[in-house]
Every structure is written in C-alpha cells, then in structure tokens.
Amino acid sequence: MRIVVIGDGKVGYILTKLLAQEGHDVVVIDRNPLVLRDAQEKLDVAVLTGNGACAEVQREAGVPDSDLLIAATSSDEVNLLCSLIAHKLGCRHIVARVRNPEYDQQMSLLKADLGLSFTINPEKSAASEIFRLLQFPQFLKRDSFAGGRAEMVEIKLPKDSRFIGRRIDQISDMLKRRALICVVDRGGKIFIPSGQFTIFSEDKLTIMAATAELPDLIRRFGVPTKTVQKVMIVGGSRTAAYLAKQLLAARVEVTILERSYERCEELFELLPEATIINGDGTMQSLLLDEGVEEMDAVISLTGMDEENLLVSMFANYIGVPKTITKINRLEYTDVLSNIGVDTLVSPKLLTANEIVRYVRAVGESGQDSVETLYRIGEGKAEGLGFTVPQTGAFLGVPLERLPIRKGILLASIVRNQQVIIPRGSDCMMPSDAVIVVAGPEQTIARLTDIFTDNEGRAL
C-alpha cells in the first residue's frame, strides 16, 4: 500500500517503522527536517518537509493517489484538518489520532464529514488496557479475541510451580487441554513451543484460553490471587482520568496524586468520588503518607518515564502487589522487566499497533483479513484474530493435514461461542473465529497466509 504519515513524533516514528518493515511504500511529512532525516536514514522511507495540513504539501506527497493517510501530529486540530484535506483530495482511507476527550465524544458526528475511516485515542486506549489488567492483576499482559470470548494472557510462573521442568504436552494434559501455552519468553528470547519444549523457572508464558476459564487457570498455575480494591494513580493525566472513571464505576477506591493545583481542581470536578491529592507523587514521603503500602495496585502515569519507573520500583520494593508503568521510550523494555518493574504500558505503541492492524485489514479486503492484532514479547511475535471465510479448500480438513507454515501456531477456534483448544484432528469451519500466533519472520494479513504450497512457500 502507498501510505502517507503526517507527523514524525514518537507515534509517527514507531508507526513508520512498523509499516516500513511490512513492505509498504511510506511517505512521512513533518515540519522538522532533522527528525525526517533520522527517519529517512534509519527506516529507508521517503520524506517531505512541510505543513501536512496544507493541500499543496499533501499533493506533493501524493495523497490523492495514496491508499491511506495517517494524521499523527501532536495536535488534534491539525490532525482533523489534515484528514479533511486528504478527504477532499480523494485519499481512499484516513486515520487520525484524536486525544481531546471533547473531540473524542463527537467523533460519531464528525467522521463522515471529515472522511475519517478510523480514529484512535491513545490515552483512552491505555486506560482501557490498564483497567483490563487490573481485573486480573496476576497477568502481565491480557488481550481479547473473538468478541471477548477468548483471551491471550501472559504470566510469570512462581518459583515453586509444579509446571517447572515439565514439557508442554505434559502441562496440556495436566490442564486437561483447556488452555494452550503458545509463546514462551525466556530472558527476552521468544519461542513458539512444540509439545516437547520444557518450561524453566523465570519463563514468561503467553497462554490462550476461554475467558470463562481464567479464574481456574490462575489457580491451576499456582499464581497468587488478589482482587484490586484500592488503587493509587501517580499523575493526573488524561489517561488517569479515563482510568479512574472505569475504576470508580467498578467500585474501586481511587487516590490520585498530581503536582499541578489547577489540574487537581479539574480532577476534583470530574471525579468527585476519587481522593485527589495535590503533591509530587514521586516523593517517597508523600507516597507513604497517603497509604501506598495499603494499596492493591500503583499506576504510574506521569509524563516522565524516569519518574514512572522510580515510583513503580519503590512500590514493588515495599510490597505493593501490582504495579503498572506508563512508558514512552521502548528501547529498554527487556531490561526494565528484569529490574523490579511489573507491567509496562505504552500508549504510543498501543496506538501504532492498532493502526497497523487497521492497515492490514484494509490492505487485504477479503473476508479472511485480520480483525485483531496484538504484539507479544515486545513485537517478537504476534497474536492475530480472523473469521474463517465461507469457502476454501482448507475447510473441514483436519489441522494435522494442512500445510501450515513453520513458526505459526493455530492457538484457538471459537465456534458457536465455544472456545476450542485445537488438536490435530480438529478443523476449521465457515464463520469460526480463529486465533493464530506467528513468529517475527512472518507477516500475516489474511488467514490463507498461514499456509504453504508444496514447496514450503507462502500461498
């Protein structure tokens, strides 16, 4: 696809990198020639210095003949104006990042007039991600498929787990095949395991199971369980406000620490049921004074990665059961996961991943195109959701007889709202929802991409 990205900030750069890796023809527009030079040298993409909200600049970038324009500047107003101009110029698909809650509420009214195909709010997406993690705080990550009927979750086994030293096929038998270990993260190295793969201490396991099975799954793996009733949020950002609303609706006690007095007043009006504290939440004395030791979870949502990391490390040190840390820089995620940081959430990466999923879907307009996409192990593997088409030579054929590409695992089949952890004798049928796990060397856009021809090449 020919794609124009307007804005080469952190989101734009991550997005451009992912799209370029997938082989798309990408043009990046930004006012700053220095950041464009960096993108051009490192990512091998075309760049154009200028105002992306100017029709002449968009014409020069080839927007009228492009398949997709992505407006990802730091300004909602500029993104919406870029979208309107691209729509007038005839761009086929338009995606915009919209962060302001007031604009976000009006998107249903504005989409058609602005020509928007898809909008995303990074802060709102991050808040929803954190809220889902707090529902099962034992999970490091949690992703939904098939309309929420199936879940892919990541856990770290306790050191005394009965599964350590066992092979995958032995664990499957112990779980009565109600769950499937589909990815193992061992010190940052990702494996899509066979039945003979042995689990070691400190491995992180990505497991596919029915959503209804999650509580029993936690018990079987011996992971300590604790519900979240009290949450402290450090930083009164938009993400904090979105998250606090969801937590309060779930009857969770919320305390927010924010150093700006003006923002505290806004939060007090917006969240009257929450406890709002005006102060520097990175100070240990304030955290202790406000009862951090009694919290079930601490969420670090300031605008500085360093502050968020320090708060989470301190909360872990004093024994808070769950910490979630917002980060912008993704280079050190493997290191951070091993130094006392529990779960990392990046609004920018969530945004980029969601847009990449949309790009794959519109790039492959067939009925078997990707519907859901999640990155596993910091992008070293992917979980993808599809709906099985009504026709295809693979329908009704046992999986053990299908030519599935190396490095790909069919993790789950959802049929008539029942989640099936597949065996070789199972098969795919029309309208099934299927979840596929693919290694880093694979790019899967359609369900049929998982198959090979007789010579081992992708069909």
Classify domain 230-320 at the CATH topology level. Answer: Rossmann fold (3.40.50)
Alpha-carbon distance 292 to 229, whole Å?
13
CATH class of the structural domain 364-450: alpha beta
Could you tell me which residue, 388 or 202, shows the higher pLDDT? Answer: 388
Alpha-carbon distance 171 to 111, whole Å?
48
Alpha-carbon distance 296 to 27, whole Å?
46
Alpha-carbon distance 32 to 155, whole Å?
42
Mean local confidence (pLDDT), 315-326: 93
Q: Is the pLDDT of residue 455 over 50?
A: no
Please tell me if the domain spanning 138-220 has the same topology as the one spanning 230-320.
no
Mean local confidence (pLDDT), 311-328: 92
Rounded to two decimals, the pTM is 0.83
Residue 268 backbone class (left: φ over 0; alpha: ψ -120 to 50; beta: rest): alpha
CATH of the domain spanning 2-120, picked from 3.90.190.20, 2.40.50.140, 3.40.50.1970, 3.40.50.720: 3.40.50.720
Positive or negative: CA dihedral 162, 344, 310, 184: positive
Mean local confidence (pLDDT), 34-46: 88
The one-character DSSP state at 357 is: H
The one-character DSSP state at 450 is: G
The one-letter code for the residue type at 112 is A
The H or E element containing residue 122 is helix 122-135
The one-letter code for the residue type at 257 is L
pLDDT confidence of residue 415: 93
Spatial neighbors of 206 by CB under 8 A, at least 6 apart, are 141, 152, 153, 154, 181, 182, 183, 184, 185, 376, 377, 381, 383, 437
The H or E element containing residue 434 is strand 433-438
pLDDT confidence of residue 366: 55
Q: Is the pLDDT of residue 81 over 90?
A: yes
Mean local confidence (pLDDT), 433-441: 87
Separation in Å, CA 237 to CA 103, 126, 290: 17, 11, 19
Q: Across-strand partners of 438? A: 382, 408
Enter the CATH code of domain 138-220. 3.30.70.1450
Nearest alpha carbon to residue 95 among 69, 77, 62:
69
Alpha-carbon distance 128 to 132, whole Å?
6
Alpha-carbon distance 110 to 427, whole Å?
43
Residue 207 contacts residue 177 (beta carbons within 8 Å): no
Domain parsing of the chain, residue ranges? 2-120, 138-220, 230-320, 364-450
* Span 321-364, pLDDT tens digits: 999 999 887 666 666 666 656 788 988 888 888 888 888 877 66
